[in-house]
Chains A and B, each alone.
Chain A
Amino acid sequence: MSSTIIWTIAVVTVLGLLLALVLYLVAQKFKVEEDPRIDEVEKAMPGANCGGCGFAGCRAFAEAAVKAPNLDNNYCPVGGNDTMAKVAAILGYEVKAKAPMVAVVRCNGTCAVRPRVNEWGGTESCAVKAQLYTGDTACAYGCLGCGDCVKACQFGALSMDSETSLPVVDQDKCTACGACVKACPKKVIELRPAGPRGMRVFVSCLNRDKGPVAKKACASACIGCGICAKTCTHEAIVVEGNIAYIDASKCKLCRECEAMCPTGAIHGVNFPKPLDKDAIKERIKIRNQKAKEAVVISSEAEKSQKKEDKKDE
């Protein structure tokens, strides 16, 4: 009886050892050489697998980052600079810090200012809607309000405001992965630098129609009047195709354009104080007056200079 037990244990042990040896040899023979740094990089990643970096997931990003000669084309928008610093430390590369970005909805056509001219009775999907027609308002460029961006967001950073029927970005949750940008058939959402302490100014409209047409479709549309571009002292605003665009890299957040915009299409967010339009307008007026006076003085000076020149002759 006892010998049976001993034999069984012995046979199983020997068999186990033999098979382990076979497994070991096979594993050695067909070993896939993989850079151990890939695992390390993957560990440093946020693990959201959102695809915001342009790769299929965090693992794919790690593989690409290890192979790449530098990190210029590999940036994880979700992890941001902290994650990229860790990745750079693992791989021994230098990393250029990027300004944190945030999704910005460039349409302010709320139900109140953008009247509905027809009723959409089809599937609640912006993609389906956009394929059939320009939408239930007279604006062919704005938000369609079916929430494809909300469905695309994996971080719960987007929600539809039932009162305005526009999407709202929760900037604390937004990782700037860009999924909403891809999902929006009207390209209403843009990734913009989040700005210092979240402060940023942007044109919240994409309507390329001429002024009167745009104004008729939506009371707060950008009418392409160009007042903002004239006001801006930093050359940050370009008006092209009846639409103004603020270059965030040049904007100094003075909010003068916001105060001067006749339709309220320019939005400033996260500023500590509310916008004092009158004070800013007064400031611009004084500045313009001074500039005019300076022009007059200089032209007078030129004239007197010329006279003197003539006298000299």
Chain B
Amino acid sequence: MSKRTFSIGGVHPHDSKISRGCPICPLPVAPTVYISVAQHIGAPSVPCVAVGDKVKVGQVIAEPGGFVSAFIHSSVSGTVKSIGPRPDLAGRPVTHIEIAVEGDEWADTIDTTDTLITEIPSDNKAIVEKIRLGGVVGLGGATFPTHVKLSPPPGSKCERVIINGCECEPYLTSDFRTLLEKGEQVVVGAAILRQVMGNVPCTIAIEENKPEAIVHIREVIEKLGFEGIEVMEMKMMYPQGGEKQLIDAVMHRQVGSGALPISVGAVVQNVATALAVYDAVQKNKPIVDNSVTVTGECFPNQANLLVRVGTPLRYILDYLGGIPADAAKIISGGPMMGRAVANLDAATVKGTGALLLLTEAQTRRGKESECIRCGRCADACPMGLEPFLLQKLSRNSDVEALEANAAQDCIECGCCLYSCPANIPLLDWVRLGKGLAMGAIRARAAAAKAAAEAAKK
């Protein structure tokens, strides 16, 4: 059987997985951590500790600020020093809880042993509640609260759980290492997720450039004897790890514009999320750390580190020998979708997956020239959009036309920019246009809601 991939667009950058041989090592705890209250999509959490409070690892320090929100736990033990705004990666002020570290004392409820627990509790409601209390969010990048994804709206039916182990972004290797080193836990996490969704079949999708992981996970499934879980070897293609792309690749179903994956019967969770689900359900361990790949051709001490949430980026880089002289740009995430770090004093969040150091030559943009109408961007777009058109509309702030041409469906994967021979900053403009279209849609929804409420009265 030929290996599967998604049907529209996509590009094939060199995978540059140069840190694939580095095992995940724990990073020593930083002297001070800064834990953001906005680490997920949705409403920011509300701090529930006061300055001067003593906290333990795994203690709740912020409670959800709404339904689509998450618990936030202390990643260290120590004293709360301050609660206030601090610039995040992009320099925007976000409320952070500053904790001065003293020792490493874990909350009593957490099972810190390494024993693998394969017996899954039978009460699905209790499992979802444990996931919620564990502050589990999607660790594939979007940081969408997992318990919300696992509570599908009435009337919708899940037919398959997909565990996303594609890691299609170049350079990133933390999911690969997690599959190799914590394969058993990931498989148990997958089994928990499929049970919660009603014992539906589960597919662990892994790209062909990780053959060791594919073999290992197949062995683990056989060893543990879980039924209904299979490994699917995927063809290499970027952005296969995108939710809609992966559903297309695995199930040959396409999610409509503005629709959720559940509308075609799919629930997608990342490998790291499956591990976090295992930790939360079987070990009572909330998300207090996550694995971060630190890599780049110019960076000699590449590593996959287990980093406590809230560790300042500068501390991580200093631990690995500091920033090399020829590094010009530091990106949080991969080279395709990651964002450049404007502020090294910013702290990691649950969704921080990688720090990538690039040289001047690697990051320099080519000189922009006129569009030659070759259509490569439209061929590359995995959402079937027309980036050349959207960028023009965005430059003219034509919100109506942007919405009509589905700028809001852009997943910001960067395939258009990657494929453009004229070096037009397509993604910059399309992202701006997406913001305008989304703003218009939200404004309309808010107006409709207000009108409905006024009509009620």
Residues A133 and B425 in contact in the complex (CB < 8 Å), given A118-B342, A121-B363: no
Q: Are A123 and B428 in contact (CB under 8 A)?
A: yes
B-side interface residues, number (CB < 8 Å): 20
A209 to chain B: which residues have CB within 8 Å?
93
Pick 21 A–B contacts, CB within 8 A, sort by A. Answer: A118-B342, A121-B329, A121-B363, A121-B365, A122-B365, A122-B428, A123-B428, A123-B429, A125-B428, A128-B425, A128-B428, A128-B431, A128-B432, A131-B435, A132-B339, A132-B340, A133-B91, A134-B91, A134-B342, A136-B342, A209-B93
Q: In the complex, which residues 399-432 of chain B have their Cβ closer than 8 Å to any Cβ of chain A? A: 425, 428-429, 431-432
A133 to chain B: which residues have CB within 8 Å?
89-92, 339-340, 342
Q: Are B425 and A122 in contact (CB under 8 A)?
A: yes
Q: Mark A116-139, 1 if CB is under 8 A from B, else 0.
A: 011001110101100111111010
Q: Mark B77-91, 1 if CB is under 8 A from A, else 0.
A: 000000000010111
Whether A140 is near chain B, meaning CB under 8 Å from some CB there, is yes
A121 to chain B: which residues have CB within 8 Å?
329, 363-365
Of A131, A135, A136, which is in contact with the most chain B CB atoms at under 10 Å from its CB?
A: A131
Q: Are A134 and B90 in contact (CB under 8 A)?
A: yes
Q: Are B91 and A135 in contact (CB under 8 A)?
A: yes
Give the docked Cα–Cα distance between A127 and B87 (Å): 20
Which range contains the number of A residues in contact with the other chain?
10 to 19
Taking a contact as CB atoms closer than 8 A, the residue among B90, B93, B329 that contacts A132 in the complex is B90
B92 to chain A: which residues have CB within 8 Å?
133-134, 140
- Minimal Cβ-Cβ distance residue in B for A127: B432
Q: Report A274 CB to chain B, min CB distance, Å.
A: 37
Give the docked Cα–Cα distance between A196 and B244 (Å): 62
Give the total number of A-B pairs whose CB atoms are below 8 A apart.
48
B90 to chain A: which residues have CB within 8 Å?
132-134
Q: Mark B327-353, 1 if CB is under 8 A from A, else 0.
A: 001000000000110110000000000
Q: Which residues of A contact B (CB under 8 A)?
A: 117-118, 121-123, 125, 127-128, 131-136, 138, 140, 209
Give the docked Cα–Cα distance between A307 and B343 (Å): 66
- Minimal Cβ-Cβ distance residue in A for B360: A121
A117 to chain B: which residues have CB within 8 Å?
342-343
Q: Report A123 CB to chain B, min CB distance, Å.
A: 4
- Minimal Cβ-Cβ distance residue in A for B329: A121
B428 to chain A: which residues have CB within 8 Å?
122-123, 125, 128
Since A121-B365, A127-B432 are in contact, a sample of 8 more A-B pairs with Cβ atoms closer than 8 Å, ordered by chain A residue number, is A125-B428, A128-B428, A128-B431, A131-B435, A132-B340, A133-B342, A134-B91, A140-B92
A131 to chain B: which residues have CB within 8 Å?
431-432, 435
